[in-house]
């Protein structure tokens, strides 16, 4: 008897896992989450989940809380991992060895590892971006060098199986690129159409050349100091302050 060819339904489901932890920036999570959820709808071979330590409400940097769909233990071997960022809570998580360990475990067997905004700092602190090009929110881009990564001032940056996005809304761009990598550009364009991602900001593009970036340094430094008040050694490592 001849063997029956494997059908698409028998192919393993590829799970895209978003990491949730307290204090994240909501759009860092839900922007790319919406993109990948659309992918799961259009291509049933993909599944999108949100993982965390516990399935319970987690505070964000807005009045809205989020609840993971699964625990880390329930999704031990995802196809792709995406890490959102934030401000003070994310910076404080640079010293959270439990979370950093979770990221290392998830990334170990993942085909793709991504981040949005300061989520790349968590990947870097976990030792995953050493020697790689990466980006993050412009307030903290230079901190990537402290973890052995090469900062790049781009909307999103791909280096091997790692893809990092700049601040907040850039996560949508990164997620569309991820969809193109795993399912092809035509499907990525269809996702873009479905979510009607066609940015036309009322004041035009950001005038980076005319932005006084240095004037924001005290705010960024203050947030980092607040986040790492209980971890002076790490703060000194990231700032050269004693």
Per-residue pLDDT tens for 15-63?
999 999 999 999 999 999 999 999 999 998 999 999 999 999 999 999 9
C-beta pairs of 48-52 under 8 Å, 24+ apart in sequence: 48/15, 48/16, 48/18, 49/15, 49/16, 49/17, 49/18, 49/75, 49/78, 50/17, 50/18, 50/19, 50/20, 51/17, 51/18, 51/19, 51/20, 51/75, 51/78, 51/106, 52/19, 52/20, 52/21
Would you say domain 12-199 falls under CATH 3.30.1600.10? no
Torsion of CA 103, 106, 108, 110, to 10 degrees: -130
pLDDT score of 6: 46
Confidence of residue 7 (pLDDT cuts 50, 70, 90): very low
**pLDDT of 4 higher than 50:** no
Residue 5 has pLDDT above 50, yes or no: no
Q: For residue 224, what pLDDT band results from cuts at 50, 70 and 90?
A: very high
Tell me the mean pLDDT in the region 202-209: 95
Predicted TM-score of the model (pTM)? 0.94
Q: What is residue 51's predicted lDDT score, i.e. its pLDDT?
A: 98
- pLDDT reading at 142 higher than 80: yes
Name the residues annotated as catalytic.
117
pLDDT band at 10 (very low <50, low <70, confident <90, very high): low
Task: Write down the domain spans for the chain.
Answer: 12-199
Name the phi and psi angles at 82, rounded to 5.
-130, 130
pLDDT-derived band at 138, boundaries 50, 70, 90: very high
Check whether 176 has a pLDDT greater than 50: yes
Confidence check: pLDDT of 64 > 60? yes
Per-residue confidence (pLDDT) for residue 44, from 0 to 100: 87
Mean pLDDT of the chain: 95
pLDDT band at 1 (very low <50, low <70, confident <90, very high): very low
């Amino acid at each position: 008897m001849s063997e029956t060819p494997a059908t698409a339904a028998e192919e393993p489901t590829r799970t895209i896992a978003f990491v949730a932890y307290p204090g994240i920036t909501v759009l860092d999570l839900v922007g790319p989450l919406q993109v990948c959820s659309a992918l799961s709808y259009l291509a049933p071979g993909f599944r999108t989940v949100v993982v965390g330590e516990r399935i319970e409400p987690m505070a964000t940097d807005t009045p809205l809380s989020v609840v993971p769909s699964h625990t880390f233990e329930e999704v031990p071997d995802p196809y792709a991992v995406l890490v959102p960022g934030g401000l003070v809570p994310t910076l404080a998580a640079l010293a959270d060895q439990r979370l950093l360990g979770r990221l290392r475990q998830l990334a170990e067997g993942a085909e793709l590892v991504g981040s949005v905004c300061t989520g790349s700092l968590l990947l870097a602190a976990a030792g995953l971006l050493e020697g790689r090009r990466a980006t993050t929110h412009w307030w903290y881009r230079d901190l990537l060098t402290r973890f052995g990564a090469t900062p790049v001032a781009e909307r999103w940056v791909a280096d091997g199986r790692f893809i990092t996005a700049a601040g907040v809304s850039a996560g949508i761009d990164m997620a569309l690129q991820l969809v193109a990598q795993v399912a092809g550009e035509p499907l990525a364009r269809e996702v873009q159409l479905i979510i009607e991602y066609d940015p036309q900001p009322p004041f035009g593009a950001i005038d980076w050349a005319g932005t006084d970036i240095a004037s924001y340094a005290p705010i960024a430094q203050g947030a980092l100091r607040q986040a790492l008040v209980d971890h002076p050694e790490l703060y000194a490592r990231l700032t050269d302050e004693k």
